[in-house]
Amino acid sequence: MSSNVVTLEAFTALPDHARLLGLDLGTKTIGLALSDVERQIATPLETIKRVKFTQDAAALLQIAAKHGVVGLVVGLPLNMDGTEGPRVQSTRAFVRHLVPLTPLPILFWDERMSTLAVTRTLLDADASRAKRAAVVDKMAAAYILQGALDRLARIESAAAEDADPDQP
C-alpha cells in the first residue's frame, strides 16, 4: 500500500495528547468516532453521507483537521472466517485513494461484529428503527476505534512494564 498505512505498534509513536479518528466505511455513509486526547475513550462523532470519493475524502480530512487528529483507524470488514470479500476490497481501495491526500498514519482494524454488537446494544436500549439507523454507523466507528484504543493501551502498558521491571 503505502508508508502511511501502518501497524498498531506505529501508533505508539504518535504525539501525546492528540486524538485518533475511527471510520466505519459503508456504501452509503461513513461513520466517524473521535478519541479523547488521552486516547482512552472513543465517542461517536458524526456520519458523512457518501457522495463521491473526492467529496467524501475532503469532508473526512476537514473533520480530522478540525479536531487535531494524528491518526485514522479504519474498520476492515473481514468475513467471519477472516477472509477478505468485496467490502474489504472497497475499503482498501478507499484508503489507497486517501493515502496521497494526507500524511496521517492509517491503521486497518478488524471490525467483525462491530455493527452487530452496536445494533444489539441499541435494541437492548429499546431504540426505534429510525434512531438506530441514524446512529449505528458512528457508533460502529466508536466500537472499532475503542477496540484499537484498548489494544494500544495494552501494548503501551506492556512496554512500560518491560522498561521498568521494578514497577508493581
Where are the chain's structural domains?
Answer: 5-163
Supply the pLDDT for residue 168. Answer: 55
Rounded CA gap, 124 and 143, in Å? 16
Q: Which residues pair with 44 in a beta bridge?
A: 33
Rounded distance between C-alpha atoms, residue 93 and residue 76, angstroms: 12
Judge whether 51 and 28 are in contact, CB under 8 Å. no
Here the cell at position 161 is 512494564
pLDDT at 140: 87
Q: What is the mean pLDDT of each run of 10 residues along the chain (168 residues)?
A: 81 93 94 96 95 97 97 91 88 96 95 67 65 72 92 87 66
Predicted confidence at residue 167, as pLDDT, reads 55
What does residue 45 show for φ and ψ, rounded to 5 degrees? -110, -65
Q: Name the CATH superfamily for 5-163.
A: YqgF/RNase H-like domain (3.30.420.140)
Task: Say which residue the cell 494524528 belongs to.
Answer: 70
pTM for this predicted structure: 0.86
Rg (the chain; Cα; Å): 16
How far apart CA 106 and CA 74 sit, in angstroms, is: 7
State residue 40's pLDDT score.
Answer: 95
Characterize 93-121 residue by residue with b for buried, 16 or more Cβ atoms within 10 angstroms of its Cβ, and e for exposed: ebbeebbeebebbbbbbebeebbeebeee
